[in-house]
Chains A and B, each alone.
Chain A
Amino acid sequence: DGGITQSPKYLFRKEGQNVTLSCEQNLNHDAMYWYRQDPGQGLRLIYYSQIVNDFQKGDIAEGYSVSREKKESFPLTVTSAQKNPTAFYLCASSMSQDSTDTQYFGPGTRLTVL
C-alpha cells in the first residue's frame, strides 16, 4: 500500500514544548514538503527538501526545523519559538521538483497548543 503517512493524527502541546511531527513516504519520491493550513488561508510552505541531506526554508520557516536523513522520512519539529503553532500540518511529496511533478499529500496532523 503506497502513499504518505503522517503521525500522530492529533497532537497536543503545552506552551514551551518542542514537538516533532512524523512524515513517511514509500513512493520513492525525491522531493518532500511541509505545509501549514489555517482557516481561510491557502497552504503555506514551511520547509521543503529536494533530495536527501538537503532542505530549504519556505515562506514561514521561523519557529520550525526539519531533517532529511533518509529519502523516505522528513520529520518536522515545531519549536517553542513558533508563536502560533496551532494549525493543521500537511506533508507532501513529489517525484522531483520539476515543473509538472504533482505534489501528493498525507492525511495531516492537527496540532493544538494548550
Chain B
Amino acid sequence: GESVGLHLPTLSVQEGDNSIINCAYSNSASDYFIWYKQESGKGPQFIIDIRSNMDKRQGQRVTVLLNKTVKHLSLQIAATQPGDSAVYFCAVKADSGGYQKVTFGTGTKLQVIP
C-alpha cells in the first residue's frame, strides 16, 4: 500500500522568511495530491492541490511542487507569518481497486518565530 512521510516533524522559521515543507510518497500511481493546514484542536483546512499532470501550482503565498520522478511533494509558504503556525500534512490519492484511497502524512509542525 501507499506510504506517505514527511521529512521533518517540526520546522521553525523566522517571521518573513520562506518555509518549505516536504512530503514523500511511495505509490507511483498516485494521481492527486493535497496539502492541509491544521491548527491546534481544529479540523484540517484545504490549502492547495495539484494533479499528477502538473509539476507546479501556485496559490496566494503558497506554491506546491511535485516531482514524480522521485515521488516528492513540497509546500512553499512565502513570507511566513505568525498565523501560519500550524501542523501541515500532505494527502496522496491513488486508485485502490476502484476506490480512490487517500493516504495522509503524519504532519510537520511549523513554528513561526516573531
Using C-beta atoms within 8 Å of the partner chain, give the interface range for chain B: 20 to 34
Tell me the A75-114 residues at the B interface (CB within 8 Å). 90, 97-108, 110
Q: Is the CB of A90 within 8 A of B43?
A: yes
Interface Cβ pair total, 8 Å cutoff:
49
Docked CA distance A99–B66 (Å): 17
The interface residues of chain A lying within 8 Å CB-to-CB of B43 are 4, 6, 90, 105-108
Docked CA distance A43–B84 (Å): 21
- Does B106 sit within 8 A of A, measured CB to CB? yes
Q: Is the CB of A42 within 8 A of B4?
A: yes
Docked CA distance A56–B14 (Å): 45
Chain A's closest residue to B94 (CB) is A99
State the main secondary structure of chain A at its contact with B.
loop
Give chain A nearest CB distance to B10 CB in angstroms. Answer: 12
The interface residues of chain A lying within 8 Å CB-to-CB of B99 are 56, 97
- Does B61 sit within 8 A of A, measured CB to CB? no
The interface residues of chain B lying within 8 Å CB-to-CB of A90 are 43-44
The answer, among A6, A40, A97, for a CB contact under 8 Å with B100, is A97
The interface residues of chain A lying within 8 Å CB-to-CB of B95 are 99
> Can you list 8 A-B contacts (CB < 8 A)?
A4-B43, A40-B106, A42-B89, A99-B93, A103-B91, A104-B46, A105-B36, A105-B43
| Contacts from A to B (Cβ < 8 Å) | 4, 6, 35, 40-43, 45, 56, 90, 97-108, 110
